């Protein structure tokens, strides 16, 4: 089955609907949806401060630790040599700590997805939670003298974690969750975008630089230009809000500084490209960012 067909198949699984509702309610409560401090908490777990989503960084911890534990357990079973058993048990514990971080960061990111990615993400979460539960059981069995059972439960957890990782890959590579949606190929030479006379004050206007959608705004004596497609999931920033210093995306309310594009509020983690601006013969021209021009006149 191709990756696209797999995504379509999962999106038709209606039994995941209540799972989505439960995960959404948990995320809203855990990340303090209606509390002012919640914004800081959510930004932290998104990785807004990091300039990169935090979730894929943390998932390496359980996957790496549990892979090591599996290799040591196979060695123990194959040779009967249990000298490395303690190392395997420690790896299982490290994986459990990493899994807690992966669950929290993943749930926070998932809560800003819709439709197919949301459903695939719900299944990804269920499988990874099941893998974590297996490893929790394995850890308990190892500590309580049921070593053989502990290894078997660990193998089941490892198999589930691989399926979960595969779906995580699907979310990134097929559904483009967690990747930068802002344009990367920007014009290196100045290109005309619109007449200066057509630009009102403090109102965002959508235009194009070559084929790249941009938003243009006049703020007093300055003309500021930013890529229009939101780095989070591609929302149309020109349809959002401009308060004089920042732009808020209409889809999930990420907030970007209008001067340098840095993320002020997530869920976005990647900065929004801003353009260098000049005015020639009444025409606004832009090119790839090399710092903003404070006064284009
Ligand atoms: S598309 Fe999600 S915040 Fe812009």
What was the pLDDT predicted at 296?
44
Q: Tell whether ligand 1 has an atom less than 6 A from the beta carbon of residue 254.
A: yes
In this prediction, residue 290 has a pLDDT band, given cuts at 50, 70 and 90, of: low
Which sequence spans correspond to the domains of the chain?
Answer: 3-173, 191-287
At 51, list the tokens: 């300039």
Ligand 1 nearest-atom number relative to CA 235? 1
User: In whole numbers, what is the pLDDT of the chain averaged over residues?
Assistant: 91
What number is the average pLDDT over the span 132-158?
Answer: 95
The topology under which CATH files domain 191-287 is Rieske Iron-sulfur Protein (2.102.10)
107 CA → ligand 1 middle, Å: 17
What number is the average pLDDT over the span 214-240?
Answer: 94
Q: Tell whether ligand 1 has an atom less than 6 A from the beta carbon of residue 217.
A: no
Model confidence pLDDT, tens digit, residues 23-70: 999 988 888 777 778 889 999 999 999 989 999 999 999 999 999 999
Residue 24: closest CA among 101, 102, 112, 117: 112
Cis peptide before 121 (omega within 30 of 0): no
At 232, list the tokens: 């989070």
Most confident segment among 119-133, 182-196, 281-295: 119-133
Distance in angstroms (rounded) separating the CA atoms of residues 199 and 284:
9
């Amino acid at each position: 089955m191709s990756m696209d067909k797999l995504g379509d198949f999962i999106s038709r699984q209606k039994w995941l609907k209540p799972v989505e509702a439960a995960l959404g309610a948990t995320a809203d409560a855990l990340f303090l949806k209606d509390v002012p401090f919640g914004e800081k908490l959510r930004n932290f777990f998104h990785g807004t401060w990091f300039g990169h989503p935090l979730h894929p960084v943390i998932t390496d911890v359980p996957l790496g630790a549990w892979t090591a534990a599996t290799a040591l357990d196979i060695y123990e079973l194959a040779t009967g040599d249990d000298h490395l058993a303690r190392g395997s048990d420690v790896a299982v514990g490290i994986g459990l700590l990493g899994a807690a971080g992966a669950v929290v960061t993943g749930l926070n990111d998932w809560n800003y997805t819709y439709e197919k990615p949301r459903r695939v993400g719900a299944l990804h979460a269920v499988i990874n939670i099941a893998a974590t539960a297996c490893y929790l059981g394995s850890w308990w069995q190892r500590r309580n003298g049921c070593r053989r059972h502990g290894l078997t439960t660990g193998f089941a957890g490892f198999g589930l974690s691989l399926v979960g990782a595969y779906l995580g890959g699907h979310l990134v590579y097929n559904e483009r969750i967690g990747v930068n949606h802002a344009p990367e190929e920007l014009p290196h030479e100045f290109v005309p975008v619109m007449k200066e006379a057509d630009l009102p004050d403090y109102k965002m206007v959508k235009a194009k630089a070559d084929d790249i959608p941009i938003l243009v705004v006049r703020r007093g004596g300055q003309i500021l230009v930013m890529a229009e497609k939101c780095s989070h999931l591609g929302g149309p920033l020109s349809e959002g809000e401009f308060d004089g210093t920042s732009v808020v995306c209409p889809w999930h309310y990420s907030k970007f500084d209008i001067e340098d594009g840095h993320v002020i509020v997530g869920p976005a983690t990647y900065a929004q490209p801003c353009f260098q601006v000049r005015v020639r013969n009444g025409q606004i021209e832009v090119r790839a960012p090399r710092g903003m021009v404070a006064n284009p006149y």
